[in-house]
């Protein structure tokens, strides 16, 4: 894989392009309706500007990253040749739909999140039945450049979208809520935010390092009659787990709706 075309260089497309460029010596081509986005990519990544000519970009590239909005997919109707290799990041848009719309028969899907910008995303990857070796290698290379890869059958991509693609936003909300709660208790916001980020990061790293189940870790922190168990009880009273389950379920449901 020596040439990668990014069709769409908004937040996600530019994050994917930057991550690929950091991990491999490749040429980047970009397509986007907004001149300022293309200009940023050409300046920061040395990208080749194909303006809005997705067909030319895909023909030039070894693989094309499809990072437009799902509702804009019809703009690419018939844009690709059957042999063009395409890796899509479109939420709730099946391989079959992308094939039928664009004309490419070589389509894989990934679902990263914004942490792709720092190569720390959780990335869902699904490959079509009968995918050729070049498409498999290219899609896996793109996915691994962005972070941790979860290779799943396509029917589970809605769940990965809800967990990873959307889930990072829930983490942001949680961190800010923790910080604001600490502000209410007297900490300045900058210190509270720094502390909340550190707590979430260190907790995740500890689980990853030890392999201990999260419930067991909670039990280790909760001393009898102590501060933590009081806080956990408050979370339970306000149905914290239920709210998280509902958020993930709503995102997965919306992903399925987008695919109809």
The domains located in the chain, with CATH, are 3-153 (3.40.50.720), 167-258 (1.10.3730.10)
Q: Provide the greatest CA pair distance for the chain.
A: 67
Q: In the block, which residue shows the tokens 């419930």?
A: 215
Residue 125 and residue 149 in contact, taking contact as beta carbons nearer than 8 Å: yes
* Per-residue tokens: 106: 């070589």
Per-residue pLDDT tens over the stretch 89-141: 998 899 999 999 999 999 999 999 888 888 899 999 999 999 999 999 999 99
Give φ, ψ of 153 to 5 degrees: -65, 155
Spell out the residues 6+ positions from residue 245 whose beta carbon is closer than 8 angstroms to its own.
Answer: none
Instruction: Name the DSSP class of 105.
Output: S
* Per-residue tokens: 21: 């460029």
Spell out the residues 6+ positions from residue 45 whose beta carbon is closer than 8 angstroms to its own.
Answer: 17, 18, 21, 28, 30
Confidence of residue 259 (pLDDT cuts 50, 70, 90): confident
**Mean pLDDT value of segment 230-238:** 97
Per-residue pLDDT tens over the stretch 151-203: 999 999 999 999 998 999 999 999 999 999 999 999 999 999 999 999 999 99
What pTM value is reported for the model? 0.86
Confidence of residue 26 (pLDDT cuts 50, 70, 90): confident
């Amino acid at each position: 894989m020596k040439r990668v075309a990014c069709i769409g260089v908004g937040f996600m497309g530019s994050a994917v392009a930057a991550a690929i460029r950091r991990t491999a010596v490749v040429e980047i081509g970009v397509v986007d309706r907004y001149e300022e986005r293309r200009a940023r990519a050409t300046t920061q990544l040395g990208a080749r500007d194909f303006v809005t000519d997705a067909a030319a970009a895909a023909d030039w590239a070894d693989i094309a990253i499809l990072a437009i909005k799902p509702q804009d997919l019809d703009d690419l109707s018939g844009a690709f040749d059957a042999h063009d290799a395409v890796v899509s990041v479109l939420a709730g848009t099946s391989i079959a739909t992308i094939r039928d719309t664009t004309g490419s028969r070589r389509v894989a899907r990934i679902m990263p999140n914004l942490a792709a910008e720092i190569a720390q995303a959780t990335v869902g990857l699904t490959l079509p039945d009968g995918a050729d070796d070049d498409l498999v290698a290219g899609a896996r290379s793109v996915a691994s450049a962005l972070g941790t890869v979860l290779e799943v059958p396509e029917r589970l991509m809605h769940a990965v979208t809800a967990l990873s693609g959307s889930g990072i936003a829930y983490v942001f909300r949680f961190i800010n809520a923790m910080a604001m709660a600490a502000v209410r208790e007297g900490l300045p916001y900058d210190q509270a935010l720094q502390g909340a980020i550190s707590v979430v990061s260190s907790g995740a790293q500890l689980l990853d390092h030890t392999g201990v189940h999260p419930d067991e870790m909670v039990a280790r922190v909760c001393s009898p009659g102590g501060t933590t168990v009081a806080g956990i009880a408050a979370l339970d009273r306000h149905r914290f787990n239920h709210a998280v389950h509902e958020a993930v379920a709503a995102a997965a449901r919306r992903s399925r709706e987008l695919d109809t």
